[in-house]
Amino acid sequence: MREYCIKGIAVHEFGHGLGFVHEQNRFDAPGECQQLKQGTNGDLVLTPYDPRSVMNYCNPKYNNDGMLSTLDIAAVREAYGGPPGKPVGE
Ligand SMILES: [Zn+2]
């Protein structure tokens, strides 16, 4: 349980370190998720709303079990680029 929590929190906090804010703060988050707003709001939307994001308190899995969602990966690639030799989006 301890390792699970450390991994989940680390992935979430690295997300903040990269400049990502909480997914539930988005204007298009479901109303019940917006009730969980915390921290600052972003000013750039890179992907559709992501209920599975590691940055979403409304995710039924705590920090998505420490695993980036498909849209988390897409957002990181959009912001920072993909792996060398691969265009963004692959
Ligand atoms: Zn956070």
Cα of 57 to ligand 1 centre, how many Å?
8
Per-residue pLDDT tens digits for 23-78 = 999 999 999 999 999 999 999 999 999 999 999 999 999 999 999 999 999 999 99
Cα of 21 to ligand 1 centre, how many Å?
7
Whether residue 88 is contained in a domain is answered as: no
Whether residue 86 is contained in a domain is answered as: no
Cα of 15 to ligand 1 centre, how many Å?
8
> For the whole model, what pTM was predicted?
0.88
Cα of 76 to ligand 1 centre, how many Å?
16
Q: Span 73-88, mean pLDDT?
A: 85
> Are the C-beta atoms of residues 79 and 19 closer than 8 Å to each other?
yes
Sign of CA dihedral 52, 68, 73, 42: positive
**How many domains is the chain partitioned into structurally?**
1
Give the domain range for residue 53: 2-80
C-alpha–C-alpha distance, residues 14 and 28, integer Å: 23
C-alpha–C-alpha distance, residues 66 and 89, integer Å: 22
